[in-house]
Structure 1
Amino acid sequence: MPDRPSVAGATGDRRRWQALGVALVAAFMTLLDVSIVNVAVPSLQRSLHASSSDLQWVLSGYALTFGLVLVPAGRFGDAHGRRTAFVVGVALFTLTSTLAGLANSPGWLVAARLLQGTAAGIVNPQVTGLIQQLFRDAERGRAFGLLGATIGVSTAVGPLLGGLLIALGGADHGWRWVFFVNIPVGIVGVLLGWRLLPARPTGLPDRHRFDLTGVLLLGAGVLLLLLPLVQREHWHSPWRWALIPTGILVLAGFARWERRYAGRGRVPLFDLRLFGLRSYTLGALLALVYFGGFTAIFFVFTLYLQNGLGYSALVAGLAITPFALGSALASALGGRVVDRFGRPLVGAGLAVVLLGLGAVVLVLRGDPIGGVPLLTAVPLLAAGLGSGLVITPNQTLTLAEVPVPQAGGAAGMLQTGQRIGSAAGIAAVGAVFFSSLAGSAGDWAAALRHALLLAMGFVALALCAALLDVALTRRMVRTDPDVGATRASGQRK
C-alpha cells in the first residue's frame, strides 16, 4: 500500500506550519475538555442542583460521543477534504461550548456535552490526517512531536486550568468559564482554519458514496463497548457487562461487512487491509493498552489529592503539572529522533514510565512525610518524560505506512482504540481504587498504590507489544536486510 505524493510543496513551507499551528490549537481545546470538567463538578453541582447520575453523564457523555464519530469523521475528511470537516467540527464545538456554559438545567448541560463530544470527534482525525498530508520524513516526525506534546499537556493540564478558571469565576458559576473559554479560541480557529488549511480533497475514488451501513455497525459496536464502561459508577446491574461481548460480535459483523463492501469495488468506511501492516496493528494495540493506564493515572491521583487529602482543585492540578511538562518536552524530542531509533524508542519510554510510577508507589508507602505534591513531583516528571517518548513516536510509526488518502480513517480508528482503552482503564483502575478504599478502612494512600500498580500493568502490556515489534523487526533484518533495516530505523518510503 504505497504512500501518495504530498501537497506540501504546493502549499508552501510557512503556510504548512501555520496550518499545523491552527490544527494543534483546536486539538488542544477539544482534548482539554476531556479532563478540565472533572474539577468543575462541585461547582456545577451546586449551581444546577445536579444528581450524581447527571454528573456522570456530563463527564462520560463527552467521551462516549467523541469515540463514536472518530472513524466516520476521518473517512469524511479523507473523501471530501479535511478543511471542510475541520471547520465544521470547530464551529460546532464552539457553538456547543456556548450552549454548555449557558445551561440552566442538568438536562441542558448533558445534551450540550454530548454534542460537544461529537464535535471533538469530528476535529481530531482531521489533525492527524493533515500531518500525514502536509509533511514527510523528518518533518512529519517533528509535526507529530508537536501533536504528542499537545496531547500530553492537554490531558494533564486540564485540572490546573479548570482550577484557575473556577477560582476566577467564583465557586457557584466558575464552571461556566470552563466552557466559555473555548469561544474566542473556536472563532479564531474557524477563520484561520478556512484560510490556511488545504481545501483540495485527497482524491479517493467513489468519494461521494458513503458507507452508511458501516457507520451504523461501527457506531453500535463502539457504543456497546463504551456504555458499560463510562457508566460504571451508576449502572450497577451485572447485565451491563453482557453489552461488551455483544459489542465485539457487532464489530465482527462490521469487519465482515467492510470486506464485502470493498469487494464490490467501493471505498469502505475503514480499509481492513491496514491491519495487514504490522506497524499499524501493533502500534494500535500498544496505544489501546497504554491509554488504559495513562489516563487512569490522573483520574485516581486527583481523587486521592482532593477527596483523600483535602487539597483544592488548583493544588491538585499543580501536582500533575510535572507530568505535563515532562510529556511536552519529551514529545517534541521524540518526534525529532523517532526516525533514527524507531520502536525501541517507544520501548525505552514505556520503561521510564514504569520506573516513574513505581517511584510514586514507593513514595506513598506508609504515611508520607511532607506535602504529597512535592514528594511525587520528580517521579511524575520522570513518568511524563517517558510518556512523551511513547505517544508521539508510536503515532508516527503506527501511521508511517498508511497511504495519505486513508490517513483520516486510520487515525480515527487509532483514536477510537485510545478512547476505548481510556474508558476500560479508568473503569478497571477505578474499581480497584474504590474497592481497596472500602477494604482498607479509608486508607487513601493504599488505595492509590493498588490502583497505580494496575495502571502499571497496562503500561507493561504496552511494553510487551513494543518489544514484540522490535523482535520481529530484528528477525526481518536477518532475513531481508534491506527491508528490515528500513523498518528498524523507522523511516518511511
Structure 2
Amino acid sequence: MAENVSRQPNQPDSNPRHIRVPGSDRVYDRNKLLFVLLVPLMMTLLQVSSVNNILTSIGHAMSASDSQLQWVLSGYALAVGIILVPAGRLGDMFGRSSAFVAGFSLFTLSSLLVGLATDATMLNFMRVLQGAGAGILSPQTTGLIQRYFVGQARAKAFAMFGLVVSMSVAAGPLMSGALVGILGEAAGWRWSFIINFPIGIIGLILAFLWLPFGKERRHVGPHRAEARSEYIEMQEEEGRFYERPKIDLDFLGMVLLALAVVGIMLPFMSTGWAFAWALLPAGVLLLAAWVAWESYYKKIGREPMVNLELFGISTFSWATAITVFQFLGMTSIFVVLALFLQRGLDVSALEVGLVTLPNALVSAYAAVWAGKRVLLKGRAVQAISLALMVIGVLGMMGVIWAIGKGLPFWWLMVPVSVLGFGQGAIGSTNQTLSMLDVPAEHGGTAGGIVQTGQRIATAIGIAMITAVFFQGQHAGSGDTAWYNAIYIAYALVTFILLIALALAVIFWRKGTAEIKA
C-alpha cells in the first residue's frame, strides 16, 4: 500500500485519497482530513445563522436590551473579523493543524459557556470568545485544503466547503427553530449553543487522530531534523527549494489591521453610540496605513503579515471582490425574511426554518454540481449563479406580494429554492477560484483575507439592509408597513447582487479574452 501513497501533497498521484507527511510513517486519509475540517466550519457558521431565529427567546430569558441583543450577533462577528488574517498568518508560520485545534478548543468550550450564561453580559463576553475561536480555526481550513489537495481534488474539496457555507446559512434557522419548538423557549435557545460542546469534543478527538501536523513535525520534537531533511527532498522533487521560514510576527501590522477592522465594522454594528460613525473614516485611514506598512516592511527585507503580491494574482483579486459584494447582499436575505414572517405574519420560528429548508437542500446539490465544473467553466458558473440569486430574490418579492393577497406563505419555498441553487454554486466556485493560483505556503493568509472581506461585508450588509427594513416599517402602519419594508430591503439586496453579477460577467469576459489571446 505504501508504494501508492503520495509523498507530495501538492502533486497529482495515482492514489489521491492517501498522503504521508515528512517525519511520520503514518498514512493519512484526505477524506477524513476534509471531514474533520468541515464539521467545525459548519458549527461556526451555524452560530451566525441560527442565532437570528432565537434572539427573541434570548431577550425574554435574559431581559436583554436591544443593544445587548445586537451584540449577541455583533460581538461574535467582530471577534472573527479581527482575528482571521493574523490567525491565517500564524498558521502558515507555525503549523495549521495546531492552530486549528487551538481555535476549535476555544470555540467548543466557549459554546458551552454561552449556553450556561446567567446574564446578557456573560453571554456576550462568551460570544466574543466563541468568535475568536471561530476566527482562529477558519483560515486553517482553507490553508490545509490548499496544502493537501490539488487539481480536481482541490476543486471537490472547495465544493464541499461551499456546500457547508450555503447549507449553514439556510439550515441555521431550522436547527434553532426546531430546538425551541421541541425544548421550549427557555431551554431551546441555550441548547442551540450547548449542542456544540459534545460535537466539539468528538471533533477534537478526531482532529488529533486525523490531522497530519505536517509543518509542526519539522519544528518540534526529537525527530524534527529528520522531518526537515525529508521535506527538503520532497521540495526538490517538486522543483522548489527549501527555505527555513522566518519567524516574523509583524506585530505592528497585526495591530493596524485589527484596529482598521474594528473601525470599519463597529459603526455598522452599534446602536445608540453617537461617536461610532467617527470610527469609520479612522478605520479607512488605518487600513491605508496598514497597506503602506506592509509594503514598507517587505521592502526592508522583513516578512509582512500579508504579502501584498497576493492581490496581484488575478483570480484571487477578482473572486474576492465578487465574494465581498455577494456577501454584502446575500447574508441579510434570511434575517429580513425571519423578521417579516415572525413579526409581520406571526409565523413561528420552526415554520420559518421549514420555509428555508429547500434552500439548504438545493444549495447542497448546487455546490457539488459547481465543483465538478469550476476548473473548466468556473467564471461562467459564477455569473450564472449570481443571476439565479437575483431571480430568486425577485421571485421572493413576487410571492410576498401574493401572500398579501391570500397566498399561503409556504409558497416562498419555490423562489427560496432558486436562490439556494445560486448560493450553493457561487459558494464553492468563489472559494475555488479565489485560491486557484495562490501558493500553498500562503493558503492560510489568503483564506483569512477572503473571509475577513466576507465578515466585513456581512456586518455592513446586515446593518444597512435591516436599517432600511425597519425604516420602511416605521414609515407605514399596520400590515402594509411590513410588506413595504421587505420590498424596499429586497430591492436594495437585488441592486447589490447586480453589482456582483456585473463584476462576474467582466471577469468571465476577461478570461475568455485571455484564452483567445
C-alpha contact (below 8 Å) 1:44/1:173 kept by paired residues? no
Report the aligned-residue RMSD: 1.7
Q: Does 1:266 align with 2:302?
A: yes
Q: Compared with structure 1, are the counterparts of its residues 197 and 204 closer, same or farther at alpha carbon in structure 2 (3 Å cutoff)?
A: farther
- 1:463 is aligned to 501
Q: How does 1:89-168 map to 2 (within 5 A)?
A: 89-168=103-182
The yes-or-no answer on 1:10 pairing with 2:25 is no
- Bigger Rg, structure 1 or 2: 2
Gap regions ≥5 residues in structure 2 = 1-7, 12-17, 217-241
Secondary structure, in 3 states, of the residue corresponding to 1:435?
A: helix
Question: Identity across aligned pairs (percent)?
Answer: 39
Task: State the aligned residue count.
Answer: 472
Once residues 382 and 29 of structure 2 are traced to their aligned partners in structure 1, the CA distance between those partners, rounded to angstroms, is 31
**1:407 corresponding residue in structure 2:** 443
Q: Distance in 2 between matches of 1:18 and 1:201?
A: 19
> Structure 1 residue 335: deviation in Å?
1.1
2:87 pairs with one of 62, 73, 86: 73
SS in 2 for 1:365: helix
Tell me, yes or no, if the aligned pair for 1:43 and 1:173 is still in contact at 8 Å. Answer: no
Q: Give the alignment partner of residue 34 of structure 1, picking from 48, 63, 70.
A: 48
1:354 is matched with 390
- Aligned partner of 1:254 in structure 2 is 290
Tell me by how many angstroms 1:444 deviates: 1.1
Match of 1:21 among 24, 28, 35: 35
Provide the rounded CA distance (Å) in 1 between the counterparts of 2:32 and 2:146: 15
Q: Compared with structure 1, are the counterparts of its residues 307 and 389 closer, same or farther at alpha carbon in structure 2 (3 Å cutoff)?
A: same
Among candidates 354, 365, 369, match of residue 318 of structure 1 = 354
Q: Relative to 1, partners in 2 of residues 1:24 and 1:13: Cα closer, same or farther, differing over 3 Å?
A: farther
Pair 1:242–1:197, CA change in 2 (3 A): same
Aligned to 2:68, which of 35, 40, 54? 54
Partner of 1:489: none
1:488 corresponding residue in structure 2: none
Cα offset, 1:153, TM superposition: 0.8
Q: Is the 8 A contact 2:54 2:189 kept in 1?
A: yes
Any gaps of 5 or more consecutive residues in structure 1? Answer: 480-493
380 and 14 in structure 1: CA distance in 2 versus 1, 3 angstrom threshold: farther
Runs of at least 4 residues off by over 6 Å: none
> Structure 1 82/363 Cα, relative in aligned 2: closer, same or farther at 3 Å?
same
| Equivalent of residue 207 in structure 2, options 181, 184, 193 | 193
Counterpart of 1:281 (choices 317, 326, 331) is: 317
Is the contact between residue 248 and residue 304 of structure 2 (CA under 8 Å) also seen in structure 1? no
CA contact (8 A) 2:38 2:141 kept: yes
Q: Counterpart of 1:485?
A: none
Cα deviation code 1:42-77 (max 9, x no counterpart): 222222222222111112111110111000111111
Once residues 41 and 478 of structure 1 are traced to their aligned partners in structure 2, the CA distance between those partners, rounded to angstroms, is 53
Matched residue, 2:14: none
Pairs within 5 Å for 1:300-315:
300-315=336-351
Find the aligned partners of 2:252 and 2:303 in 1 and give their Cα distance: 13
Contact kept, 8 Å, 1:346 with 1:390, in 2: the verdict is: yes
Local SS of the residue matching 1:269: coil
Q: 1:316-340 CA deviation, whole Å, 9 max, x = no partner?
A: 1111112211211101111111112
With over 3 angstroms needed to count, the CA separation of the structure-2 counterparts of 1:158 and 1:18, relative to structure 1, is same
Q: Partner letter of residue 6 of structure 1? A: N
CA distance in 1, matches of 2:337, 2:187: 25
Report deviation, 1:423: 1.0
State the secondary structure of the residue aligned to 1:300: helix
Whichever residue aligns with residue 153 of structure 2, its letter is E
